[in-house]
Structure 1
Amino acid sequence: MIYLIGLWESVREFIATGGDVLYFVAAALFLMWMLMIERYWYLKTVFPKVKKTIIRNWDDRTDTTSWYAHRIRETWISQASDDLDARMLIIRTLVAMCPLIGLLGTVTGMITVFETMATQGTSNARLMAAGISMATIPTMAGMVAALSGLFISSRLEAKVKMAKEGLVDSLPHH
């Protein structure tokens, strides 16, 4: 319990040092990771059942060679592909947004530095350092969030692509 309290205090100090923009970075990071976890869960648990059902339905068909049968096959593949691609665009967008949110923190931190310089002059280095921290910490946080999301989302996209190709290969058309 003491460890959690210490961890919470560290996070609060980090956010106080980096400014309120870190809440937006944290929200984007949380949403991005929840969506990536959901996509992994879908790929590992739901999609295999969907694939098995599609393959069984295709194998149960007596006609797999006609134009109509090929349209049915394409429709099933298209629907499964759409389900696999669901939320991938949102994940990519959140990955791209994290550094931009961090840059917003940079701008607001630099505004704080300039306000300090305008009101206190350049002699108070301690006040200027607080603004510089508010400028650099959100940038770092946004970059770290984007890098973690970029790595995982790339692997996720590769798994989605392999799942699509596996489905297409499992439905032979004669």
Structure 2
Amino acid sequence: MLYLMDIWDAVRGFMAAGGDVLWLVALVLFLMWVMMLERYWYMTWVVPKAHKAIVATWMAREERHTWHAQRIREAWVSRAKQDMNARMLIIKTLVAICPMIGLLGTVTGMISVFDVMATQGTSNARLMAAGISLATMPTLAGMVAALSGVFFSTRLDSKMKIRLERLKDKLPQH
């Protein structure tokens, strides 16, 4: 229990050093990861069953060679692709927003520094350091959040493409 309190104190200290914008970065990061984990769960547990049902339905068809049958096959593949890509645009948007929110923190932190300089002068380095912290912490957090999102969303995207190609391969055309 003491260990968890130490972790919570460290997180709280980090968030206080980064200012209010850091909470916004944390919120966007949380939403991004919830959606990515949902997509991973969907790809691991739902997609195999759904694709197996599509293949079984296709193989149960008597006619698979006509133009009409091929359009049905294309429609099923298209629906599977649409289902797999359901939240990917939102995830990629959240990944792209993370550095922008970090830059917002940079701007607000620098405004704080300029405010201290205007009221206290340039001789109080301790007060200016707090503003510099407000400027750098959100930028760092936004970049780290974006990097983790880029890596895992790219892996998720490639996993989806592989699954879709496997589905196409299991639905013979002729």
TM-score, normalisation: structure 1? 0.99
Within 5 A, what are the aligned runs for 1:49-60? 49-60=49-60
Q: Which residue of 1 aligns with 2:108?
A: 108
Q: Distance in 1 between matches of 2:92 and 2:102?
A: 16
Unaligned runs of 5+ in 2: none
CA deviations over 1:14-57 (Å, ceiling 9, x no partner): 11110000111001111111111111111110000000000000
Q: How many residues align?
A: 174
> Which residue is equivalent to 2:8?
8
1:61-99 Cα distance to aligned partner (Å, 9 max, x none): 001011111111111111100001110111111111101
Whole-Å Cα distance in 2 between the matches of residues 118 and 140 of structure 1? Answer: 26
Partner of 1:141: 141
2:151 maps to 151
In the other structure, the counterpart of 1:48 is 48
- Provide the secondary structure at the position in 1 that maps to 2:50: helix
1:71 correspondence with 2:75: no
Deviation, structure 1 residue 106? 0.2
Please, what TM-score do these two structures have when normalized by structure 2? Answer: 0.99
Report the residue type matching 2:65 in the other structure.
T
Q: What CA distance in whole angstroms lies between the structure 1 residues aligned with 2:149 and 2:34?
A: 11
Following superposition, the deviation at residue 114 of structure 1 comes to 0.2
Which one-letter code corresponds to 1:141 in the other structure? A
Specify the SS of the correspondent of 2:123: coil
Q: Which secondary structure does the structure 2 equivalent of 1:17 belong to? A: helix
1:85 aligned onto 2:85 = yes
Distance (Å, rounded) in 2 between the aligned partners of 1:28 and 1:109: 19
Deviation at 1:154, TM superposition (A): 0.8
Residue 172 of structure 2 is aligned to residue 172 of structure 1 = yes
Compare 64-73 and 107-116 and name the one that shifted more.
64-73
The CA RMSD measured in Å over matched residues stands at 0.6
- Give the CA deviation at 1:163: 0.7
Amino acid corresponding to residue 17 of structure 1 in structure 2: A
- Following TM superposition, the consecutive aligned residue runs of length 4 or more in structure 1 with deviations greater than 6 angstroms are none
**1: CA distance between counterparts of 2:156 and 2:44?**
11
Unaligned runs of 5+ in 1: none
